[in-house]
């Protein structure tokens, strides 16, 4: 291997790019912050969400957007730890949930699934899990809030299997929970990690010969000791074996119990994760699989963020580097546009500010200043034209009728709707009943708000949105489509390309339509 190839291999080997998936309030912000602290990327804890200390927060613009009521951000954070370069893709929680969230997951090579141990698998976790699972990426589970009275750990494992269909392997096991929580037994390193309330700068670790070591009894007390014996024996006998191959395929998830807020179990988790999680993986393209070590630069845009900095009204295109070395100022082919462009102002998302990047490697995410030339899914490459496989699209789940406040602005209104829906995250449908009404479909509520905001800011148009009761959209393929069949709890509309789309108020309405039209095909996304 020549020297350049060796450097490249090393850079790829040390990188880990992952997303944290969870339901709001499970503790994602808290965990992210602790991880960043280990990496020394931020100096202050408690500032990711804090306004006052926003200069230290993971991303200032995120805060700015929150103040303006539009936080669509899924930021990227980078730090170094124990010889690894770590990229965390933040997926927005709460109502910010959108198609962006799903797409961001395509840029990750693995996922960390964070679960509130008192609540188990919640709705949003399930949705995000399914997207990861379809890609077959490894998923690592952190069972959070062990300092609180939580559910039985076996119950939680059972739920992973029942609800998500994934087997699990506990890497450590909690001793007691809530007020009685005294720590975890590390099954891999055979040691006790002892819990105290408050932020753990250092965790007291006791090496033991096994979980039946008398030291365990001494520390945990008779009752918890016996409980632990029973539980771990059961795990040894009836539990899954650890199998890295299965972990890599996303069939088995290593589970870690801990408490993010107390910084308990986070470091062990991080260290194990970095060891077991995959380095940047190849991506499929028009030229077959592109290995990260392929010498020519290539990447794709998975997200476009508008108005990141209100002073500049700029847009940032987030690009995942798939192969080769990125160097500032390099010329690359923008395949769809058929142009060569210079990447002169790239930004990397270090925790504190938007730094200009000089070099970056596969697995890294860079932010490209976008004067309007990029679309989600665009491929950039050096040398031969590599077009990465299209990003998945997702079926909208929320619908609103959209109208204009001031009828005189009809032209700008239509232009705005047309251009903004072109970006791909919001879909527009037209009613077929003759009134020519427009309906917007989105994955997350916040997308409606962003739409409203951008129509006003960029097109000078005030829009009105009326929420409609539909929950599902299905593209209907049928030669002899009979629109009269979509009257009860459903409506037939057309998308931008004149495809028929049926909107349904509930699953029952959808199922009965499918039963009534066995010859028709009902697709979740546009054909």
Which residues are known binding-site members for GTP? Answer: 22-29, 90-94, 144-147
Give exposure, 42-77, as e/b (b: 16+ Cβ within 10 Å): beebebbeeeebbebbbbbbbbbbeeeebbbbbbbb
The correct pick among 132, 261, 365, 386 for binding ligand GDP (CB under 6 A) is: 261
Q: Please, what is the minimum distance in Å from the beta carbon of residue 442 to ligand GDP?
A: 21
Residues 83-142 binding ligand GDP (CB under 6 A) are 93
Region 29-58 residues binding ligand GDP, contact defined as CB under 6 A: 29-30
- Which residue stretch of 159-167, 260-268, 479-487, 507-515 sits at the interface with ligand GDP (rule: CB under 6 A)? 260-268
Edge-first strand order for the sheet with 331-334 is 339-342, 331-334, 379-381, 298-306, 315-323, 365-370, 347-349, 354-356
* Burial class of residue 280 (count of CB atoms within 10 Å of its CB; 0-12, 13-18, 19+): buried
- The smaller minimum CB distance to ligand GDP, of residues 95 and 229, is found at 95
Of 14, 16, 28, 333, the residue at the interface with ligand GDP (CB under 6 A) is 28
Report in angstroms how near the CB of residue 26 gets to ligand GDP at its nearest.
Answer: 5
The count of chain residues that interact with ligand GDP, using the rule CB under 6 A, is 17
User: For ligand GDP, which residue of 4, 7, 25, 178 counts as binding (CB under 6 A)?
Assistant: 25
Asked if 22 interacts with ligand GDP (CB under 6 A), we say yes
How many Å apart are CA 466 and CA 439, to the nearest integer? 9
What minimum distance in Å lies between the beta carbon of 147 and ligand GDP?
5
- Site membership for ligand GDP, residue 145 (CB under 6 A): yes
Candidates 132-140, 253-261, 448-456, 498-506: pick the segment binding ligand GDP (CB under 6 A).
253-261
Shortest Cβ 305–ligand GDP spacing (Å): 19
d(Cα 168, Cα 23) in Å, to the nearest integer?
19
Segment interacting with ligand GDP, rule: CB under 6 A, options 23-31, 296-304, 393-401, 465-473: 23-31
Q: Is 259 in the site for ligand GDP (CB under 6 A)?
A: yes
Task: Let me know: does 413 contact 463? Beta carbons within 8 Å.
Answer: yes
- Residues 6+ away with beta carbon under 8 Å from 384: 287, 296
- CA nearest neighbour of 427 among 416, 437, 441: 441
Rounded to 10 degrees, the C-alpha dihedral 125/129/132/133 comes to 180
* Least Cβ distance, residue 97 to ligand GDP (angstroms): 12
186 touches 167 (CB < 8 A): no
Nearest to 305 by CA among 366, 385, 225, 224: 366
In the list 147, 193, 213, 449, the residue contacting ligand GDP (rule: CB under 6 A) is 147
Partners of 306 in the β-ladder: 315
- Which residues define the annotated binding site? 22-29, 90-94, 144-147
Tell which one of 12, 21, 26, 62 touches ligand GDP (CB under 6 A).
26
Sites of contact with ligand GDP (CB under 6 A): 22, 24-30, 93, 144-145, 147-148, 259-262
């Amino acid at each position: 291997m020549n020297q350049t190839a060796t450097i490249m291999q090393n850079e790829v080997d040390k990188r880990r790019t992952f997303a944290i998936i969870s339901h709001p309030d499970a503790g994602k912000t808290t965990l992210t912050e602790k991880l960043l602290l280990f990496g020394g990327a931020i100096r202050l804890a408690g500032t990711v969400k804090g306004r006052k200390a926003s200069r230290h927060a993971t991303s200032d613009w995120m805060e700015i957007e929150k103040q303006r009521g539009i936080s669509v951000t899924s930021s990227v954070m980078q730090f170094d730890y124990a010889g690894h370069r770590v990229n965390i893709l933040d997926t927005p929680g709460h109502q910010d949930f959108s198609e962006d969230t799903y797409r961001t997951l395509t840029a990750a090579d693995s996922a960390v699934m964070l679960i509130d141990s008192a609540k188990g698998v919640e709705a949003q976790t399930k949705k995000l899990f399914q997207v990861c699972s379809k890609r077959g990426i490894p998923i690592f589970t952190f069972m959070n809030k062990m300092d609180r009275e939580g559910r039985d750990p076996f119950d939680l494992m059972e739920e992973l299997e029942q609800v998500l269909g994934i087997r699990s392997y506990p890497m450590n096991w909690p001793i007691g929970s809530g007020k009685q929580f005294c720590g975890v037994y590390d099954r891999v390193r055979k040691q006790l990690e002892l819990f105290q309330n408050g932020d753990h700068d250092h965790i007291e670790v006791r090496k033991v010969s096994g979980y039946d070591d008398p030291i365990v009894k001494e520390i945990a007390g008779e009752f918890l000791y016996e409980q632990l014996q029973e539980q771990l024996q059961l795990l040894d006998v009836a539990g899954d074996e650890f199998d890295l191959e299965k972990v890599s395929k996303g069939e088995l998830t290593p589970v870690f119990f801990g408490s993010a807020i107390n910084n308990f179990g986070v470091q062990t988790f991080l260290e194990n994760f970095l060891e077991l999680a995959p380095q940047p993986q190849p991506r499929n393209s028009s030229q077959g699989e592109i290995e990260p070590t392929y010498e020519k630069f290539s990447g794709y845009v998975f997200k476009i963020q508008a108005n990141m900095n209100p002073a500049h009204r700029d847009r940032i295109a987030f690009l995942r580097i798939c192969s080769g070395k990125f160097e500032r100022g390099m010329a690359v082919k923008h395949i769809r546009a058929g142009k060569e462009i210079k990447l002169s102002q790239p930004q990397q998302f270090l925790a504190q500010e938007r730094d200009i990047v000089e070099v970056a490697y596969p697995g890294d995410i860079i932010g490209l200043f976008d004067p309007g030339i990029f679309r989600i899914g665009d491929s950039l490459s050096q040398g031969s034209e590599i077009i990465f496989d299209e990003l998945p699209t997702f079926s909208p789940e929320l619908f609103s009728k959209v109208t204009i406040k001031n009828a005189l602005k009809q032209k700008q209104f239509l232009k705005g709707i047309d251009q903004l829906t072109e970006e791909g995250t919001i879909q527009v449908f037209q009613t077929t009943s003759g009134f020519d009404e427009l309906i917007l479909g989105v994955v997350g509520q916040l997308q409606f708000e962003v739409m409203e905001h951008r129509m006003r800011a960029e097109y000078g148009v005030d829009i009105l949105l009326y929420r409609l009761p539909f929950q599902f959209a299905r593209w209907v393929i049928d030669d002899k489509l009979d629109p009269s069949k979509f009257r009860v709890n459903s409506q037939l509309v057309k998308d931008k390309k004149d495809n028929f789309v049926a909107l349904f108020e509930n699953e029952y309405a959808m199922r009965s339509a499918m039963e009534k039209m066995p010859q028709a095909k009902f697709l979740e996304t546009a054909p």
